[in-house]
Amino acid sequence: MSEEPVGGDLSRLRQLNASAVLRELRGDQPLTLTELSKRTGLSRASTEDVARDLLGRGWLAEVAPASGSVGRPARRYRFNAGAGRLLGVDIGGHKALALVTDLDGKVLNQTRITVDPEAGRRERLAAMDRCVAKALAGAGVEAGQIWSTGVATTGLVDGSGKVMLSDSLPEWSGVDLAAHVRRLVPGPVRVENDCKLAALAETWHGVARYAKDVVFLLAGLRTGAGLIIDGKLHRGFANWSGEIGALPAAGWLRAPEHLTSWLEGTAASPSAPVEFESVFIAARAGDQSAVQAIRDYVQDLAVGASALVLTLDPQLVVIGGGFSRSADVMVEPLRRELDRWCLRTPEIRVSAFADEGVALGAVRLALDEVEATIRTGLRP
């Protein structure tokens, strides 16, 4: 139903076999032709032909042969991640973050610029531009070398890359991010919601690598979710998926207040997200009021999370977002709450990313675009 493998020309067959070879080589260790041939099911001779082809086009690179085995040493190939460059941008409330990576997602440069949360559209876009320029310069990459770009933003994004609605950022609804970024870099530009991209990053290089169905919870000043279903990012009909927070019964809107009100009880102001650490630090030190605040928070979080879990029955729940650095104290209470509601409580893991997960997801989005073009014509 979804993506019917379509037939066609003989060249189409070559394309399929070439992507099969590339897929095998996305694993980390280089492979010999014989190994490749076994994995793809192609004959050795054809594998050789395909590999020669891909090598000529720059998709593969040769690696020094392994020594120490009997027989003639085999040439070894690896995916040439350096063939192209990807750009991932996360434009949020307090910061702009840009990643320049290779085709494996290896970060060549990570640049962060702080942005005034009150900044208007013009100012925020300008900050993003500076951030991108700095990241490109830092990686020693011309804008023209960027193959594909992904952009993450809060709020709801339509298919063409416009921000439809954003309550948290001033003057942000309606901005055509894709068009704006297309002026900076060539190649395709895709825009997506930050929660969704954070989820995507987890299945790519994060803690959800081997799961097909994943619920990602963004736990921070905002609460949100991103869903991976059958290995793919689920968007929904109008890209509104995962917005369970809209249900008052879920309690996601009020959930963070348990933490902010605890902070207000202490001296620190909760304006900067860093300050939030203190609740978790206090809880870890045994402060009962902090423990209780976190418990209340998790209790509210868990109702919505349970709704997501009961709906989808995922293999895995990943906690990310601003609070995830301190999420070790959240996991157990969350598990207990989920046990209360869910028929089968999934595994719970904490994101290993700091705050670059969203931008990495944007890179993955950019890579999706590249891989789609692989399937329909191998360009370089």
Partner DNA sequence: TCACGTTATCCAGGACTCCTGGATAACTAT
Partner DNA sequence: ATAGTTATCCAGGAGTCCTGGATAACGTGA
Contacts of 21 (CB under 8 A, 6+ apart): 36, 40, 42, 47, 50, 51, 54
When CB distances are held under 5 to 8 angstroms depending on the partner's kind, the choice from DNA, a second copy, none that residue 74 binds is DNA
User: Binding to DNA by residue 295, rule CB under 7 A?
Assistant: no
Strands 347-350 and 85-91: unpaired
Residue at 271: amino acid letter: S
Helix (H, G, I), strand (E, B) or coil at 224: strand
Q: Which is nearer to a second copy, 291 or 308 (CB)?
A: 308
Per rule CB under 8 A, count of chain residues that contact a second copy = 60
Contacts of 60 (CB under 8 A, 6+ apart): 22, 25, 51, 54, 77, 78, 79, 80
What residues from 213 to 272 belong to the interface with a second copy (CB under 8 A)? Answer: 213, 227, 229-232, 234-244, 246-250
What residues from 58 to 97 belong to the interface with DNA (CB under 7 A)? Answer: 67-75
When CB distances are held under 5 to 8 angstroms depending on the partner's kind, the choice from DNA, a second copy, none that residue 300 binds is none
Question: Which residue, among 288, 298, 289, has the nearest Cα to 323 in the 3D structure?
Answer: 298
Segment near DNA (CB under 7 A); pick from 28-36, 81-89, 147-155, 271-279: 28-36
User: Binding to a second copy by residue 3, rule CB under 8 A?
Assistant: yes
Out of 3, 5, 7, 210, name the contact with DNA by CB under 7 A: 7
User: Binding to DNA by residue 17, rule CB under 7 A?
Assistant: yes
Q: Cβ of residue 371: shortest distance to DNA, in angstroms? A: 19
User: Binding to a second copy by residue 377, rule CB under 8 A?
Assistant: no
Out of 110, 145, 173, 315, name the contact with a second copy by CB under 8 A: 315
Q: Which residue intervals of the chain are DSSP H helices?
A: 10-25, 33-40, 44-57, 121-139, 177-182, 194-205, 257-265, 277-284, 288-312, 328-341, 357-375
Q: Cβ of residue 128: shortest distance to DNA, in angstroms? A: 42
**What b-and-e string marks burial along 152-177, b requiring 16 or more CB atoms within 10 Å of the CB?**
bbbbbbeeebbbeebeebbebeebeb
Distances (CA, A) of 364 to 103, 143, 253, 335: 9, 18, 29, 29
Q: Cβ of residue 370: shortest distance to DNA, in angstroms? A: 21
Per rule CB under 7 A, count of chain residues that contact DNA = 30
Q: Which residues bind a second copy (CB under 8 A)?
A: 1-8, 10, 12-13, 15-20, 23, 40-42, 212-213, 227, 229-232, 234-244, 246-250, 303, 306-308, 310-315, 341-344, 346, 375
